[in-house]
Amino acid sequence: MPRKLVFLIVIGIFFLSASLSGGSVGASSACVNNECKVVVASSIASLLLGISLGLFIFYFPRKHSITDSSNIVGLWRRFGAFFLDFMTVLIVISPIAVVPILIAEANFTSEFTWSFERDFVRPTDDIYLLPGVFGIFIALYLYFLLYARSNIQTVGQYILGYKVKAIDENDNSPQYAKRVLFSFWGLCAWPISVILALRTPKKACWWDAITNTEVVRTMVVNKELQPTIESGG
């Protein structure tokens, strides 16, 4: 499937899911100067779109690609791919993650609605909000880990034309689990990570070499592959 088409499908589902849920999908809670605001929104349409996108990203046929050693993977490409992947996971997980919050609110109001907004917090809000946040991070972790272990590009990597691989093709010990964790930490301290990467010839991030992995550009050839995500090894 062409990269541009995959990009349009992901972006289209993102905006469609948000528009069908009143402008946003998810939950937020903030208090400033004793003024609080809690906003939660989802919809049946967003749930169905999230499930559909989840199935799509795992099973859509990817065009066969080969390594393009004449180009390096720039930082903008890496951050752009991460943004697309992050957005993809949010589209899939957020509509489901907020359902317990909506059910809890219905217990207080005696009426279930797919969205609500209030200017106060309840003592139980964090009990329902935090699991959803952790669930999204766990989903992100597994998403990046399973794709790397299966030697398949994530959606963002496929769209922007690069992939993660072991530095030595004959080495069976690329540390993909550590790579995902370190990359999350690196993104949290992105100014330092960017400065360090800019000082390297290939603009490599610090978590690449220490986990025996690297990123390489890819070129598409006229052959489609059916992805197979592996859960082990």
Domain range for 193: 3-225
The tally of domains found in the chain comes to: 1
Averaged pLDDT for residues 132-160: 92
Percent with pLDDT over 90 in the chain:
55
Per the domain annotation, does 151 fall within a domain?
yes
User: Which pLDDT score is estimated for 227?
Assistant: 63
Per the domain annotation, does 51 fall within a domain?
yes
Q: Which of 6, 19, 27 is nearest to 96 (CA)?
A: 27
Per the domain annotation, does 62 fall within a domain?
yes
pLDDT at 14 over 90: yes
Per the domain annotation, does 232 fall within a domain?
no
Q: Are 141 and 86 in contact (CB under 8 A)?
A: no
CB burial class (10 A; 0-12, 13-18, 19+) of residue 195? exposed
Confidence label for 80 from pLDDT (cuts 50, 70 and 90): very high
Per the domain annotation, does 233 fall within a domain?
no
pLDDT at 233 over 50: no
Between 3 and 233, where is the model more confident?
3
| Tens digit of each residue's pLDDT (9 = 90 or more) over 17-74 | 989 888 889 988 888 888 889 999 999 999 999 999 999 998 888 888 888 888 899 9
Long-range contacts of 90-93 (CB under 8 A, 24+ apart): 90/25, 90/26, 90/136, 91/10, 91/13, 91/14, 91/17, 91/25, 91/49, 91/50, 91/53, 92/50, 92/51, 92/53, 92/54, 92/57, 92/139, 93/50, 93/135, 93/136, 93/139
Per the domain annotation, does 135 fall within a domain?
yes
User: Which pLDDT score is estimated for 63?
Assistant: 82
| Tens digit of each residue's pLDDT (9 = 90 or more) over 182-200 | 999 998 998 999 999 999 8
Confidence label for 201 from pLDDT (cuts 50, 70 and 90): confident
Per the domain annotation, does 230 fall within a domain?
no
Out of 159-163, 168-172, 185-189, pick the least confident: 168-172
Per the domain annotation, does 155 fall within a domain?
yes
User: Which pLDDT score is estimated for 70?
Assistant: 84
